[in-house]
Amino acid sequence: MIKNSLNGIEESILLTEKFKQKLKLCFHECFSKDEALLLCWGSMARKEMGPFSDLDLILILSRKTNNRKVKKFHDCLSRKLINRIDLLEAYDLKTLSKIGSIDGTDRQAILLARPVCGNSKLKKDFLILQNIFHNQVHENMREILHTWSSLFSVSKNIYINKSNNLKFSLGFLRHVIFILLIVKLFFDKKNVVWSTQKAITILGKLGEVNNDTQTAFLTSLNFILEFRNKVQFFMKNESYYIDNNLLNGMAKKSNCSVDFLKSRLEDNRSNIVLSSKDINKVISRLICKKSTAEFQKYENLLNILIDFEKEINFETEEIIMDTKQEILLVLLAHRSKNPRILETLRKNNMTNWYIVYGIAINLYSSPQTLLKLVKPENKAGSYIYKLYDSFAWRNIRLYVAKNKIADKKVLNYIFNHKNSRQMDKEAALYTLTSKR
């Protein structure tokens, strides 16, 4: 690999600490310690930041804080830090809890968020909320299965397929850091595990994975972080894409061959994809252990759904539909290749974010179904309209926009939606352009 005095894990820890100090300075410039609580999640919480990794932040405000200070904080971060800022604002914990109860992305943010600085009472209250989320067994099983299946679904997306992607492609970063979610939700009662490295080690010590799998994940984590850091230093932005032009440039700078870099990437992918079979066994065992006696009779269906290398026939899909078990339906939304099944799932679960998300990224959904995920039918109630226009539905719009099956009608709808973000519009435009 590219020579460096620090390995990928060590270098990322140092980078994270550097950014965190600047983050604290910005916070204290804009708020008194009683006005707000700042939390981080993502790579900062894990101490796995690259030189241009985005900042995943949650800002909880006390009632006496105003919007002007929030803008000042955002502007300060933009001046002092080179990173893209993903700032989730919540004016109170009740609002944060409500959003996290709908959107799986926000739920994970709450589950994995780590206090940085600010109001000590808000910190105490947040930790109570976080503990409530940690103790919601069914919701956490759903979160695990949704996240694991989406890793295999998202990797088929046109954004990912255009090149290797160190974050989303099969066998790379998202597959490795998934171990942390397993440990946080099932083995971290004291809420002390934050890094992927520690989570992998704990899973090994508990005997949930064997030594070979543990070594494969630790080696992969170190390799991916090191390679990611080199890519971002080279590109001067938060890049995860690996194409031939980038490899040629990195090879020249590092005095090694392009074939050598490609072989390291492929070796990493193969090792993690192979080791993922062991993770399937861990997931199946944990889900069945934690679930009700009623659900345990569906263990065979669960194992079929998380075997992503095998096709599911129509008869099995019908059996799964008849169970009406939410976490099986979440998996089916990702796995089904039958547009009729996907439309039926949508029709019967219009307000279930997890099922709708699976349909949104499924490349076998029909364009008509995708449109109905973001634009309710005329007969839909006012609650559906309000929900689909809300902040909590933003990632459904994003992933429908990224689905290459989406037609011009749905892409134009998302591009012109009053609550679409810049990234939603860019995704819709990219998918539109790719059709020409």
Domains of the chain: 8-135 (3.30.460.10), 136-290 (1.20.120.330)
Q: What is the pLDDT of residues 240-254, one digit of tens each?
A: 888 888 899 888 888
Mean pLDDT confidence for 368-394:
93
**Residue 325: pLDDT over 90:** yes
Q: Predicted confidence band at 1 (pLDDT cuts at 50, 70, 90)?
A: very low
Q: Per-residue confidence at 2, pLDDT binned at 50, 70, 90?
A: very low
pLDDT in tens, 56-75: 999 998 876 677 889 999 99
User: pLDDT at position 163, please?
Assistant: 54
Res. 108: pLDDT tops 50: yes
For the cut 60, the answer to whether the pLDDT of residue 431 exceeds it is yes
Q: Which residue has the higher pLDDT, 136 or 242?
A: 136
What does the pLDDT average to over 316-343?
97
Would the pLDDT of 148 be above 50?
Answer: yes
pLDDT at 6: 56
Average pLDDT of the residues in 288-296: 83
| Share of residues in the chain with pLDDT > 70 (%) | 96
What's the pLDDT at 83? 83
Rounded Cα gap, residues 306 and 302, in angstroms:
6
Mean pLDDT of the chain: 91
Q: Give CA separation, 62 vs 28, 29, 72, 77, 170, in Å.
A: 15, 17, 16, 20, 42
With pLDDT > 90 as the criterion, what percentage of the chain qualifies? 73
Model pLDDT for residues 199-209, shown as the tens digit of each residue: 999 999 999 99
What is the structure's pLDDT at 155? 66
Average pLDDT over residues 22-39: 93
Confidence bin at 157 (pLDDT 50/70/90): low
pLDDT of residue 165 exceeding 90, the answer is no
